[in-house]
Amino acid sequence: MKRTLAIVLALAMTLALCAGLAGCGEDAAKYNVGILQLVQHEALDAATKGFKDALTEKLGDSVKFDEQNAANDAPTCATIANQFVASDVDLIMANATPALQAAVAATDSIPIVATSITDYGTALEIADWTGTTGMNVTGTADLAPLDEQAAMIKELVPDVKTVGILYASSEANSKYQADVVTGYLKDMDVEVKEYTCSDSNDLALVTTTACEEVDVIYIPTDNTMASNTEIVDNIALDAGVPVVAGEAGICKGCGIATLSIDYYSIGYEAGMQAYEILVNGADPATMEIGFAKDLTKQYIASRCETLGVEVPADYVEIVVE
């Protein structure tokens, strides 16, 4: 009886040890990825989904995500990034410029893959930008051809005399886009005025002022604007001022048209970059920043009809549900 009991106990201990070893091996095989998204809106949500889908397709259950949203607050971005560092995640995905800046401030050793960044040189304050960061950062950009977006304004509203560029003063990449688009519009003899808001609290007043002074409003890829399109739409549509947007999510909310990238695609590409770093040891410092390959001219039929805007045949209608 004692011998039988001893055998049973030994077998139980062996099974427990094997289970423990298997568990340890399973844990060791997992990759822990922190996702820091600036704010919830259609474009950033799509990029995050693309990122997660790419890594999940490659790694299955071997990758775990800690997905956090900063509610468009820079200090919260910093808090989340520091939490990821304290948790010793294997990689940080930073979605939007303030998220990237917070991640960079938090760590110079954990790999960072960013997405939805308009210009990495501006975001990271790299003066001699060459296409790679030279640091623990790589990622994908959401910059559409700004010259073509400026030309779209003239194409849709041929008699435009004054364009107002509306964006949040806190977003460095929005300022970058405004400066570039201003140059292109001035080359077409269009006057340009800039209208900036500090946050959503003064957006209605700023939008109202813009609608009183310009023929068309242009909104670049801007997270504050993307989160508050209803405010802009209620004012601009009532005033009869068309809005041309930098991306499809903003266009759905308040625009007549956009030349937009696919945010899911740049998120997916960022996920593939993360895979190369995690599994194959790629160095983010030397990885080229990825850019969207497919661009589409899109329009909102109802607003174009209301405002009397004729849309060329090569535009694709955005169906708003």
pLDDT digits (tens, 9 = 90+) for 176-189: 999 999 999 999 99
Percentage of residues of the chain with pLDDT beyond 90: 85
Instruction: Let me know whether 255 and 272 are in one domain.
Output: no
Assigned domain for 2 exists: no
The angle, 0 to 180 degrees and rounded to 10, between the axes of the packed helices 203-213 and 229-239 is 30
Rounded to an integer, the average pLDDT of 205-210 is 98
Instruction: Let me know whether 229 and 90 are in one domain.
Output: no
Instruction: Let me know whether 250 and 102 are in one domain.
Output: no
Instruction: Let me know whether 80 and 101 are in one domain.
Output: yes
Assigned domain for 20 exists: no
Assigned domain for 96 exists: yes
pLDDT in tens, 56-65: 999 999 999 9
Assigned domain for 6 exists: no
Instruction: Let me know whether 128 and 42 are in one domain.
Output: yes
Give the separation between CA 96 and CA 98, rounded to whole angstroms.
Answer: 6
Burial class (CB in 10 A: 0-12, 13-18, 19+), 104: buried
What pLDDT, on a 0 to 100 scale, did the predictor assign at position 12?
Answer: 47
Instruction: Let me know whether 159 and 305 are in one domain.
Output: yes
Instruction: Let me know whether 207 and 65 are in one domain.
Output: no
Rounded to an integer, the average pLDDT of 37-51 is 96
What pLDDT, on a 0 to 100 scale, did the predictor assign at position 13?
Answer: 46
Number of domain units in the chain: 2
What pLDDT, on a 0 to 100 scale, did the predictor assign at position 22?
Answer: 41
Residue 28 has pLDDT above 80, yes or no: no
Lowest mean pLDDT among 28-37, 162-171, 218-227, 280-289: 28-37
Assigned domain for 168 exists: yes
Instruction: Let me know whether 226 and 86 are in one domain.
Output: no
Give the separation between CA 53 and CA 75, rounded to whole angstroms.
Answer: 28
Residue 318 has pLDDT above 60, yes or no: yes
Assigned domain for 9 exists: no
Lowest mean pLDDT among 9-23, 25-39, 195-209: 9-23
Domain enclosing residue 228, as ranges: 146-260+296-317
Instruction: Let me know whether 113 and 65 are in one domain.
Output: yes
What the block records as the tokens of 65 is: 């995500």
What pLDDT, on a 0 to 100 scale, did the predictor assign at position 319?
Answer: 85
Cα atoms in the 13 Å half-sphere on the side-chain side of 175: 11
Q: Which residues pair with 182 in a beta bridge?
A: none
Residue 18 has pLDDT above 90, yes or no: no
**Between 28 and 146, where is the model more confident?**
146
Instruction: Let me know whether 153 and 283 are in one domain.
Output: no
Assigned domain for 171 exists: yes
CB neighbours (10 Å) of residue 122? 18
Report pTM.
Answer: 0.80
Average pLDDT over the chain reads: 91
What pLDDT, on a 0 to 100 scale, did the predictor assign at position 14?
Answer: 44
Assigned domain for 33 exists: yes
What pLDDT, on a 0 to 100 scale, did the predictor assign at position 27?
Answer: 46
pLDDT in tens, 283-304: 999 999 999 888 889 999 999 9
Instruction: Let me know whether 46 and 134 are in one domain.
Output: yes
Angle, CA of 189, 297 and 124, to the nearest 5° = 75
Rounded to an integer, the average pLDDT of 213-219 is 98
What pLDDT, on a 0 to 100 scale, did the predictor assign at position 15?
Answer: 44
CATH code for the domain in which residue 307 is found: 3.40.50.2300
Amino acid at 306: T
Instruction: Let me know whether 69 and 104 are in one domain.
Output: yes
Residue 1 has pLDDT above 80, yes or no: no
What pLDDT, on a 0 to 100 scale, did the predictor assign at position 24?
Answer: 44
Rounded to an integer, the average pLDDT of 93-106 is 97
